[in-house]
Amino acid sequence: MSRVYLTREGYEKLRKELEYLKTVKRREISKAIEYARSLGDLKENAEYQAAKEAQALNEKKIHQLEQKLANAEIIDDMDIAKDEVRIGAKVKLLDLDTQEVEEYTFVSPEEADSSRGLISVYSPIGKALLGHKKDDILEIKVPAGVLKYKILDITR
């Protein structure tokens, strides 16, 4: 597996999710399996089959998170340019069509959450802004049309 670049916050979020899946979720699933077994014949026991499927999905997710965390490189510690848009950058943009100011933090796909202003560097906006500097003006083609932005500020 290749390197996974995460912010410190993103790393901690994944670490906490892993801990939850390994402790709380495993216990819940184990109890569900135990209960389903008590119902009798396992071959025709839908609750048992559902619990076993939940267990398999949980273990798969645990494995995926362990791999991501094992290959994670926290970008806060990397020597990256502070004056251009890179992963981990907080960017203030002026939408040149609406004159509204928007703020985004550029993160890895694992951390992306547009409802919280966390935009993947691999999204159309992320790809278009990477490497640009303060005061740059760009037009970004997105599925909904063309966005026109001016970069007002870049911070870490």
Res 84: pLDDT: 87
DSSP H or E run through 11: helix 8-20
**Domain residue limits, the chain:** 4-75, 79-155
Residue 77 has pLDDT above 60, yes or no: no
Torsional sign, CA 73, 116, 110, 22: positive
Res 3: pLDDT: 80
CB of 135 within 8 A of CB of 151?
yes
Listed ranges 9-13, 45-49, 50-54; the one with the highest mean pLDDT? 50-54
Q: Each residue of 128-142: pLDDT tens digit?
A: 999 999 999 999 988
Residue 1 has pLDDT above 70, yes or no: no
> Between 40 and 72, whose confidence is greater?
72
How far apart are alpha carbons 121 and 151 in whole angstroms? 16
Closest CA to 55 of 72, 31, 35: 31
Could you tell me the end-to-end alpha-carbon distance of the chain, in angstroms, rounded to an integer? 27
How far apart are alpha carbons 53 and 98 in whole angstroms? 49
Closest CA to 22 of 71, 51, 62, 54: 62
DSSP string, 30-68: HHHHHHHHHTS-STT-HHHHHHHHHHHHHHHHHHHHHHH
Provide the percentage of residues in the chain whose pLDDT is more than 70.
Answer: 96
CATH annotation of 4-75: 1.10.287.180
CATH annotation of 79-155: 3.10.50.30
> Between 33 and 86, whose confidence is greater?
33
Res 79: pLDDT: 57
